[in-house]
Amino acid sequence: MFEIKKYLQEQRQLVEQAMRRHMLAAEGVFAAHVETMRYSLFVGGKRVRPILCLAAGRCVSGAPDTEELLLPAACALECVHTYSLIHDDLPAMDNDDLRRGQPTCHKKFGEAEAILAGDGLLTYAFELLTSTEFPGPAPELRLRLAAILAKAAGPLGMVGGQFLDIASEEQQIPFELLQTIHRSKTGALITAAVQMGAVGGGADRTQLQALTEYGQAVGLAFQIADDLLDVTASTAQLGKTAGHDAKQGKATYPACLGIEKTRALAAEAADKAVVALAGFDQRAEPLRALARYIVSRTN
């Protein structure tokens, strides 16, 4: 039986090592700014997006150096994700004091410093993807990876989803709009992580389509599980303020459907993700296990 917790621990360690290798050092005249970036990047995190990227690459490629070539892309994904968390926590956005069990970036360093730390991480992600100083796939594939990440993180993806999320606070919204918010705000970057791994690993059109379907389903499962945990878990378990969605008047699956229906919907999304991998062999087992783990996690 595949040991998902052992796999996640090993892959998280691999990603952490790569991030420390590739991340800017806090030295010289920009030391204070880089230290602010590094604080949020290294304060903790599950590294789900980088791990999905690496797992998708290995799913389509048996080459022994696939993970090594994809590590800068995996790090770029975590930089973009961390930037989004820094900005999400700002007073003008979700106004939260705790992230990954530690003070949020603006609480520790100041609001302006946090905004610039997020800006720095977002732009550095594309340096990681495109600079020949870092290992990676062929130049034409790097261009595709950068385009996938930019689209997922941009105005019709994560940022657009954040806008809709804020605009929908304290409102009754159609269920279809709730789905759009979640697919954009959270699902787009998770889907991009899978697509980037697939493209970097050399997926053909059929494989890329299947893995895109997997990414969309697992991204939805992840956000639904997050909504549930905000209601059912403690602040200590989450590493962020429990019950914050309700306090902010957020549109969530439990608020719209209730807890039991939401649990069923999360399980359905995870099952759909696993079904999308039917055409792959045992190399896809980490992706299958990740889909199941995402809906059973406690933080």
Pair 159, 153: CB distance under 8 Å:
yes
Tokens of 97: 């004091």
Burial class (CB in 10 A: 0-12, 13-18, 19+), 294: buried
Q: What is the pLDDT of residue 2?
A: 85
Grade residue 245 by pLDDT with cuts at 50, 70 and 90: low
Is 234 a residue whose pLDDT tops 80?
no
Grade residue 6 by pLDDT with cuts at 50, 70 and 90: very high
Pair 111, 117: CB distance under 8 Å:
no
Q: What is the pLDDT of residue 237?
A: 66
Pair 238, 299: CB distance under 8 Å:
yes
Is 250 a residue whose pLDDT tops 80?
no
* Domains identified in the chain and CATH numbers: 4-296 (1.10.600.10)
Long-range contacts of 245-250 (CB under 8 A, 24+ apart): 248/94, 248/95, 248/169, 249/169, 249/170, 249/171, 250/165, 250/168, 250/169
User: How do residues 12-37 score in pLDDT, each as one tens digit?
Assistant: 999 999 999 999 999 999 999 999 99
d(CA 13, CA 7): 10
Q: What is the pLDDT of residue 243?
A: 67
d(CA 82, CA 174): 29
pTM of the model as a whole: 0.94
User: How do residues 125-175 score in pLDDT, each as one tens digit?
Assistant: 999 999 988 888 888 999 999 999 999 999 999 999 999 999 998 888 898
